[in-house]
Amino acid sequence: MQRRGLQEFRPQEIVQEVVSRGTAYKETTIRTHVSSLMCMNAPDHHEIAYDDLIRVSRGRYTLA
């Protein structure tokens, strides 16, 4: 967000950032965390979820 000067981001941007830092997680795992586990307005599919992100439109998120 800081590099682009925008308040919104796409999951692919998170994947690229995390991969560039040498994560061992698969891209699908990162996407699941962003779009479901970390998103406060995502459907309730997991026992544990966090309210870190808000989905503002399809494929676009912002910090909560």
Q: Where are the domains of the chain?
A: 11-63
Q: Decide if pLDDT at 19 tops 90.
A: yes
Tell me how far apart the alpha carbons of residues 39 and 9 are, in angstroms, rounded to a whole number. Answer: 13
pLDDT of residue 45: 86
Helix (H, G, I), strand (E, B) or coil at 14: helix
C-beta neighbour count of 24 within 10 angstroms: 5
Tell me how far apart the alpha carbons of residues 51 and 3 are, in angstroms, rounded to a whole number. Answer: 23
Q: Which tens digit of pLDDT belongs to each residue from 48-58?
A: 899 999 999 99
- Contact present, 2 and 63 (Cβ < 8 Å): no
